A and B are shown apart, each in its own frame.
Chain A
Amino acid sequence: MIKLITGLALSLTISLSAAYANVEENSQAPLRIVALAPHIVEMLYDIGAGDNIVATVEYANHPEAAKAIPRIGGHHGISIERLVALKPDLVLFWQGGNKAQDLEKMRQLGLNVKLSQPKALEDVAKELKMLGELTGHQLQALKVANQFTNKLQSIRQLYQNKQQYSVFYQLWSTPLMTVNEDSWINQLITSCNATNVFSQSPTKTPQVSIENVIVANPDVIVIPDAHSTSPQPKVGWEKWQQVTAVKRQRIIRVNGDNMHRFSPKMLSGLADMCRQIDKFR
C-alpha cells in the first residue's frame, strides 16, 4: 500500500514538473494563435501579430500572406480536434459569427478562448487594442487603432453638414434583401450622413418587395458587389421612374468585400460609398 502511494506521489511530482517545464518552454516560444474569423486575421496582421497565426477559417483571404494559413473550418463549424492538436496558446472566437456550441466545447477543453464581439464601428479600435494586449503588440495596435478612429471621424465630419439622403441598401436582388438598424451596415450608411429607408424593419436582413422600395422612395440605391459571390441578378429598376434614385440615376455599386468585414479595411469601402453618394449632392 505504502509502495503504491509513494509510486503515485512520485509519478504526480514527475508529471507536474514536466507540465511546469512545458509552460516555461512555451513562454519563450512564439505565441500560437488560432483566429476564427477573417476580420480577426486582418487585424492581427495590421498590428504585426500575423505571423503568430497557426490556423484560421475559410474566407480569411486578406492580406495576401493570410491565404497560406491552414484552415480548420468555416461558418459551418470548426474542427475542434484539429484545433486542439495545434496546441494554441490563444483562440480568438467571433461571437455572433462562429458557432456557439464550438465555444462551449473549446472552454470545456480548457483552451484559452478570447472573444471578438464587434457591434459599433468604433469597436474596431477597441478590438485592435485588445488584440494588442493579448499578443504583446500594444504599441503597434494603439497606432493602428488611433489611425482607424481618426479616419472614421474625419469621414463622418466631412459629410455631417451635407444634405441628408435616404438610401436603399440592396444586399441581394433575388429575393430582394436589405438591412435594418441592427446591422452594422446601417452604421456605415449613417456615417455618410445618409439614412437607411428600412432601418425600422423588424428583422435584421428583411426580405422586401419592389413595391416596398417604391413606397420607401430612396434618394440613392446602393448595390454591394462581393468578389466571392457572383454579381447580383438585375432587378430592372429603370422601369420604376417614380423612385427618386431611379429618376435621378443615383444607383451606385460598392465593394461588398470591404464593407461587410469588421476590420480597418472597412473604412476604404466606407469612404468610397460616401464619396459616391456625395457626388449626387
Chain B
Amino acid sequence: MNKLSPVIALVSLILLSGLSILSALAFGAADINLLQTLGALRLSGSEPFVEQIIWQLRMPRTLLAFIAGGGLAVAGLMLQTVTRNPLADPYLFGISSGAAVGVVLFVAFSGAGIFHVAQLSLSVAAFIGSLVAMALLLAVSGTAVAKQVESMLLAGVALSFLFSAITSVTLYWSDPQAISAVLFWTMGSFSRAQWPHLVLPGILLVTVLLSILCLRRQFTALLLGDESAITLGVNVRRFRLLMLLLSSLLTASLVSVCGGIGFVGLMIPHVVRFFISQAQPLTPVLVCLLGGLFMVWVDVLSRLLLANQELPVGIITGLFGSLFFLGLMYMRQHRYQE
C-alpha cells in the first residue's frame, strides 16, 4: 500500500478535526441547528438557552471527547513504541483498572459522607487509583535494561488482574444501585464533562506531545531495538520510565473523568501506521488528531443512537472501532495477496 505524505495527512486531519468539532456541537437532544450553533459560538444574537447548552454542555463535552481520544491514542503509541509490543496500551498496564478500583472503593465506602460534595470527587478517586497502580508498576518493573520490557508487561498484566479482583470483590458486597453506577462508569461517558475537567488532561496532553516531539530522536531510536538505541547514546532505561510515567499520568487524568474507554489507545496508532511510515517525526501528532477525531464522532453517536438517552461511549468504541479495524486488516491482507 502506498503511504501518504505526512504533511498532507496532517493538514487534512487538522481541517477534518476542526470541522468535526464544529458540526458535533450541532448534534444533541435539544433541537439546535448548525446556524444557531455558529451564532452561539460568535456570541452574537442567539437565544441564551442555545448559548448555555452549547457552551456549558456540548462544548466541554466535545472537547473532552477530542482530548480523550487524542490522549489515549498518544499514550498507546508511546507504550507501543517504548515496549516494542503492538498490543501495549494503557489498559494492559493496569492503569485503568487502578482507576476503576478507586471509583469502586469510593462508591462503596463513601457512606461517611465526607466526599459526596461534588462530581469531581469521583474523578479524584479514580486518579488516585491510577497513581497507585502506576507507582506499583514502577516499583516492580526491573532495573536491568534487558528485562525491563518483559517485567513491565508481566507486572502490568498481573496488576490488572489484581485490581479487577479487588473491584469484583468490592462490588460483590455492594448493593445493586452502586453496582449499576460503577458499571456505567466502566463503560465510559462524556456526559458529565464540565470545563474544569478539561484542564488537567488538556495540559498533560500538550506537555506529552511537546516532550515526544522534543525527544523524537530517542523515540525513533527505540524503534530499532534496545541495543541500537544504546549505541546511539540513548539512556534506554530512563527514557522508557519517563515515557511510562507520562503516558500513565495522561491516561489517569482521562480515565478519571471519562471512565473506561477501550480500543482507542490500542488501535489508532496501528491505523496511522497503515497509512504513514512509522519513523515520521509527525506521527505522534497524527495519532493524536485521528484519535480525537474518532472520539468526537463516537460521542456524537452515543448521543444520537438512542432517542432521549445515552449509549455509553465504551460500547461504541469497542463495537464500531473493532469492526472498522478488522475491515481495514482484511482489506490490507487482500491487497497483499493480489
Contact = CB atoms under 8 A, between A and B. Distances in A.
Interface string B144-179: 000000000000000000000000000010011110
Interface string A214-235: 1110000000001011111111
Of the candidates B110, B116, B177, B309, the one having the most CB atoms from chain A within 10 angstroms of its own CB is B309
A211 B113 contact: no
Interface of A: 59, 75-76, 171-177, 198, 200-203, 205-212, 214-216, 226, 228-235, 239-240, 242
25 contacts: A59-B175, A172-B177, A173-B119, A174-B119, A175-B181, A176-B191, A198-B308, A201-B306, A201-B309, A205-B180, A206-B308, A207-B191, A207-B312, A208-B308, A209-B28, A209-B57, A209-B191, A211-B30, A211-B57, A214-B29, A215-B308, A226-B175, A229-B111, A229-B177, A234-B118
A202 to B, nearest CB: 6
Contacts of B29: 209, 211-212, 214-215
Contacts, number: 112
Interface residues of B, number: 41
Nearest to B181: A172
Contact of B184 (A207, A226, A233): A207
A232 B110 CA distance: 11
Contact of B310 (A172, A212, A226, A235): A212
Contacts of A229: 111, 175, 177-178
B308 A212 contact: yes
B118 A207 contact: no
Contacts of A239: 56
A231 B308 contact: no
A205 B177 CA distance: 11
Given A76-B172, A177-B180, A211-B30, A202 B118 contact: no
Contacts of A202: 306-307, 309
B308 A214 contact: no
A210 B303 CA distance: 11
A207 B136 CA distance: 34
Contacts of A242: 49, 52
Nearest to A234: B118
Contacts of B307: 200-202
A166 B335 CA distance: 58
Given A230-B113, A231-B113, A242-B49, A200 B308 contact: yes
B111 A230 contact: yes
Contacts of A215: 29-31, 308
B53 interface: yes
A200 B184 CA distance: 20
Contact of A175 (B58, B121, B185): B185
Interface in B23-79: 28-31, 49, 52-53, 56-58
B117 interface: yes
Contacts of B310: 175, 206-209, 212
